[in-house]
Chain A
Amino acid sequence: MNLDAVIFIISAIVAVLGASMMIFQRNPVMAVLSFMVSLLAQAVLYIQLDALFLGAVLIIVYAGAVLVLFLFVIMLLNLRTTKELGPSSSLMRHLGKYFLSFLLIMEFVFIIKSSFFKGASLVGVMNMKPEGFGTVTSVATLLFTKYLYPFELTSILILVAIVGAVVMARKDKNIDRPTENKLGKN
């Protein structure tokens, strides 16, 4: 086993453990921190797959910016202690859920690893990796020529998100009163 394999195994385990910790933690701040650990490990995996740009972006945008926003939201939620979340429910009550997710995972493993489907474990993409795959230059060249249209669409998506955030979060001061007499429930 060479060093690359060792690094892969360690970071894969950290990624999965971090993600599971994020779900199982009762304390939301701890959950976000576990998610951050998981993201760092995922960045290592991306870099091992030669997706350098993606790995860098994952750290810069997700671990750097988005998770800070998560922490911010948790601060706003104003949960003082985990006690306010109520008593933790017993494992038995969630057994059905765990069972179902376990089944789903086994299903995926079956599809991908078993010989039920001929040649199922072959993956096409990495076998024909072009020169300079995953570098910033190659990503940029694709993004600004072939994927120009999706790129411009992304800006519209961000525009919509900006409008949505302002509409939802801003307090209205001088909007019109309803012209009907009383609002009722609606």
Chain B
Amino acid sequence: MDLTSASINFSIIYPEISLLIAAALILVSVFHKSANRIAPYIALIGIVVSIAMIFKQWGHQESGFFGMITCDSFGVTFKLIFDVTALLSLLIAHRYMISKGINRPEFYALLLISTMGMMVMANTTDLIVIFLGLEIMSVPLYVMAGFAKRSLWSSEAGIKYFIMGAFASSFLLMGIAFIYGASSTTDLRRIVADFHFIMSNSPAYMLTGMALILVGFGFKIGAVPFHSWVPDVYEGAPTPVTAFFSVGPKAAGIAALLRIFIFGFANVMMLSTVFWVLAVLTMSVGNILALKQNNIKRLLAYSSIAHAGYILVALTVGGNDAISAAIFYLVAYIMFNLGAFAVVTLMETRSGCKSDFSELVGLAKVHPYLAAVLTLFMFALAGFPPTAGFFGKFYIFSAAIKSGYIWLAVIGMLNSFLSVYYYLRVVKTSYFDSSDKSFIPVKYSLSIIIVLVITVIGTLGIGLFPQQFLNWSQSALFAFL
């Protein structure tokens, strides 16, 4: 084997390395007294450098580390998605962590390493690396969910997430073992090359392995029936962490699912039926349970389940159109979901707030702009026309209809009509309800304002120029299929 640096190709993991170095600096800086203050800035620099490195990689297709890393435009696109998520979550978190007295440098280091794990997951075709990336992503998330140690809710969220996540990981690992047993390789590219031979030789092992892998990722993206941890964890964890959870791991899980099931195990007819059932269950259960929620964080938790369902529709359909629609939807979802969480975080930095609906009353009178922004995000989540949410759903459902999944599209559309009810309830409460308690004003901070500006521009920009954006997300598929 050639042991020179040429076969290693270091340059393709520069984004990961810059995140890792920033995290390491933060961890070592705990010797210093002002570590709490400098940590967010180190993290910020790390993410910005990482984004710069990603732009350098744009358009190249390379592999390295003896084929363990595949850095194609699909992977690079997802790297960018994860970095933007981390950047926005960092900006949302900073002020909140200080106000709750949990601004500790470890948080930022864990955020960076978790993001790095997601990048690892999306940039490989090897199942072992996917598993390791998943663990590097998940372990920091368990800690981050329980980061507010003085809050019982947060500790509960941490423990619940940890137990469920460890359980899901073991399913995934068992699935990978089955696949390895059938094909004697963990590299998806080699599995694809010999797919018919492997499938005819040991179909039982392959199918069992696929089922177990699907269960593992189903947990991670919060698909029904593996969703039971989602509401409690989302409600209990510190709000910026919830913001990060609701998009980051979901995007990473979708990336890995696309790699494994659309690239690796395409042509298995049974799979599209399984995905069909999963998608319908996930959309419907998420939306129906969201109807009765009285806490915004819980509502957003159920809504995130429902949105995972819409993306699963794209996975059911498969093919170029649906996958580019899924990537489009994912980016749009990150924009308006993080925006909504930024507003919730801003509300929660007031003392004693738990994000109940009653705390929204009077928002429109005291902060008309904030109420307008919240309304925009709710419209986008519900999928109203000039926003990104509408086009995301539109592209997914039209891809479904084009491929003949009429019923799936119909169920999806009915679900989005259902979701309008609870999203508009948030708007209605903040505009029209009245109560005897007066609304406590919130204090803006620069970082939150930056987040709100970015997410509003994203939500509206994608909505106003959907075609350009769809072209971009189609270019992400170029080397992939």
Contacts and interface: CB of A to CB of B under 8 A. Distances in A.
Interface of A: 108, 111-112, 116-120, 122-125, 128, 145-150, 153-154, 156-157, 159-161, 163-164, 166-168, 172, 175-186
A52 B143 CA distance: 35
B208 A111 contact: yes
A18 to B, nearest CB: 18
A103 to B, nearest CB: 15
A157 B129 contact: no
Given A156-B113, A167-B143, A180-B351, A124 B202 contact: yes
Contacts, number: 151
Contacts of A176: 36, 98, 101, 103
B68 interface: yes
Contact of A123 (B67, B202, B207): B202
A118 B203 contact: yes
B1 A145 contact: yes
Interface string B148-188: 11110110001000000000000000000000111110000
B269 interface: no
In which size bucket is the chain B interface?
35 or more
Q: Which 6 A-B pairs have the closest CB atoms?
A: A184-B352, A178-B101, A120-B204, A180-B351, A149-B65, A149-B68
Interface string B188-228: 00000000001011111101100000000000000000000
Main DSSP-derived SS at the A contact region: loop
B132 interface: yes
Contact of A175 (B104, B120, B205): B104
Given A112-B204, A153-B132, A153-B133, 7 more contacts: A125-B181, A148-B8, A148-B68, A154-B132, A160-B139, A178-B101, A180-B99
B136 to A, nearest CB: 5
Contact of A163 (B3, B102, B135, B143): B143
B203 A120 contact: yes
Contact of A120 (B135, B151, B202): B202
B140 A179 contact: no
A91 B129 CA distance: 42
Contact of A160 (B101, B120, B140): B140
B146 interface: yes
A161 B139 contact: yes
Residue of B3, B198, B208 with highest tally of chain A CB at under 10 A? B208
